[in-house]
Amino acid sequence: MQNIKKQQGAALITALICLMLVSMMGVISMRTSGTNAKVSANAKQAAQTMHLATSAINQFFINPAAIWNLRTVQNVTTTFPPSTIGNAQVNIQAEYTGDFPCAITVGVSIAPGSDGAVANCIYFRVASNYQNNSGGESTSSAGFWSKKD
């Protein structure tokens, strides 16, 4: 009978400790899920930003007028009006980087001619840049060769 009286408060203390532990686990889970949601949203926004920059490069290459308007002054950047993709404005620039021996062209010999000369090509680097509202930024670039006349 004496042992029963000593143990009557132990159940209450054990229940309170268990309740505190479960509450702490719940709070930690809520904070973790909130952080995961933020990380996921940032990853989504970064992917969208990169896709917009890449789409602007693709739009540039399917627009013959943009390619014909390139300047052939070395290290001078041609800036084009921003490309509109959805509601986003993406900046596009192209730079003539110089004349180089032509890369391999299908159906064309790149071997030196009878006079020993190798055909030259013009090389351009095209870059697009997009900065989203939260300060994230992506740049995409591509290069292309054009045969010099």
Q: Based on the number of CB atoms within 10 Å of its own CB, is 73 exposed (0-12), middle (13-18) or buried (19 or more)?
A: exposed
Indicate the number of domains in the chain. Answer: 1
Q: Tell me the C-alpha distance between 136 and 42, whole Å.
A: 9
Question: Is residue 1 in a domain?
Answer: no
In the predicted model, what is the mean pLDDT of the chain?
75
Question: Is residue 77 in a domain?
Answer: yes
Question: Is residue 3 in a domain?
Answer: no
Nearest residue to 92 (alpha-carbon basis) of 123, 66, 122, 65: 66
- At residue 98, the pLDDT reads 75
Question: Is residue 2 in a domain?
Answer: no
Q: What is the pLDDT of residues 89-107, one digit of tens each?
A: 788 888 888 777 765 555 5
Q: What is the pLDDT of residues 112-136, one digit of tens each?
A: 555 555 667 777 788 888 877 777 7
Question: Is residue 123 in a domain?
Answer: yes
Residue 91: phi, psi to the nearest 5? -80, 140
Sorted by sequence, the CB contacts under 8 Å of residue 145 that are 6+ apart come out as: 100, 102, 103, 121, 122, 123
- Domain of 25, in residue numbers: 10-147
Question: Is residue 114 in a domain?
Answer: yes
- At residue 71, the pLDDT reads 66
What is the pLDDT averaged over residues 30-36?
Answer: 85
